[in-house]
Amino acid sequence: MTAELSPIDTAKLVAARRAAEFVTDGMRVGLGTGSTAAFLVERLGERVREDGLKIRGVPTSNRTADLARQVGIEVITLDEAGWLDVTIDGTDEFDSDLNLIKGGGGALLQEKIVATASDQMIVIADAAKQVETLGAFPLPVEVIPFGWQTTRSLIEETLVTMDVLGRGTSLRMAGDAPFRTDEGNHILDLDLKRIGNARQLAMVLNQIPGVVENGLFIDICDVVVIGHGDGRVELRDINAGTVRKQKIDLAETGGLFTDTAD
Ligand SMILES: O=C[C@H](O)[C@H](O)[C@H](O)COP(=O)(O)O
């Protein structure tokens, strides 16, 4: 099974499969967006179809909703769910405090709303996404289309004031047209290189008229499940302050996890 996958996809797969073990009968589950989250949705679908797992899922994008339905997960809205037991999602970067940059796929708004409405947020990531300081990945900021260039100027002025402008800002494109989020908004990607005070930047950006939300997830994530290309999985739990390392051999175990000594 893993022989057909690249090391990076193996890392995403094992992280997703381990995180799926946190999901139990009756849970209302936030379903993230992106290539790593897709492995999670597929795994939960397998458990629904093969083990009779009973869950309801709240997707964070139209594409995740489509995938969840395809694999047999009952899809409900966040308002129908009211509150969620857990959200499992990918990330573009995470640091040692489990703060994140998300939105590389443009789904940050629904992702942040859903994660914040959950008892627990579990992030699944390949090891390459761990950084010492957030910011190497361009920070996505969702802005409304009306007056977006003025909004960009205001953002740039703010970044200069905070001394974090980096290499500038760019409007995300989809071919020849500006990218549109599921809400019809645009994304500005802020190439900052290094974000010294992510908490402050997250708050300041959201004060600018025209900004809908930014991709900094501060104090939202509880656990990161880190996958490695050789099948190893590590858990970082912000509450317990613990790190558990595991190794999975999908071919041998069919997805069961065993703790390892190292
Ligand atoms: O908007 C997209 C999301 O925040 C994704 O979870 C993030 O970009 C990570 O995606 P991937 O798992 O494809 O690297």
In this structure, what CATH number is given to the domain that contains residue 244? 3.40.50.1360
Structural domains counted in the chain: 2
Q: Whose CA is nearest to atom 3 of ligand 1?
A: 103
Summarize the confidence of residues 139-162 as an average pLDDT: 96
Under 8 Å CB-to-CB from 190, ≥6 apart: which residues?
A: 138, 139, 140, 141, 155, 159, 166, 169
The set of catalytic residues is: 111
**Predicted pLDDT of residue 15:** 98
Question: Which residues approach ligand 1 with their CB closer than 6 A?
Answer: 32-37, 89-92, 102-108, 111
- Does the annotation list 253 as a binding residue? no
Q: How far is the CA of 254 from the centre of ligand 1 (A)?
A: 26
Task: Give the tokens for residue 8.
Answer: 């990076």
**Predicted pLDDT of residue 3:** 58
Task: Give the tokens for residue 206.
Answer: 């959201």
Summarize the confidence of residues 175-183 as an average pLDDT: 98
**Predicted pLDDT of residue 163:** 86
Are residues 6 and 24 both part of a single domain? yes
Higher pLDDT, 155 or 243: 155
Query: Is residue 170 in some structural domain?
Result: yes
Are residues 97 and 189 both part of a single domain? no
- Answering whether pTM is above 0.80, one says yes
- Does the annotation list 189 as a binding residue? no
Are residues 122 and 249 both part of a single domain? yes
Q: How far is the CA of 261 from the centre of ligand 1 (A)?
A: 31
Domain that holds residue 164: 139-214
Per 3-state DSSP, what percentage of the chain is helix, strand, and coil (rounded to 5)?
A: 35, 30, 40
Give me the sign of the Cα torsion angle 151, 153, 158, 162.
Answer: positive
Task: Give the tokens for residue 183.
Answer: 């809400």
CA 182 to chain centroid, in Å, comes to: 16
Q: How far is the CA of 2 from the centre of ligand 1 (A)?
A: 21
- Does the annotation list 90 as a binding residue? yes
Q: Please say whether the beta carbons of 162 and 128 come within 8 A.
A: no
pLDDT at 2 over 60: no
Q: For residues 146 and 262, what is the distance between their CA atoms, to the nearest angstrom?
A: 53
Average pLDDT, the chain: 92
| H/E segment holding residue 41 | helix 35-51
Q: For residues 52 and 44, what is the distance between their CA atoms, to the nearest angstrom?
A: 10
Query: Is residue 146 in some structural domain?
Result: yes
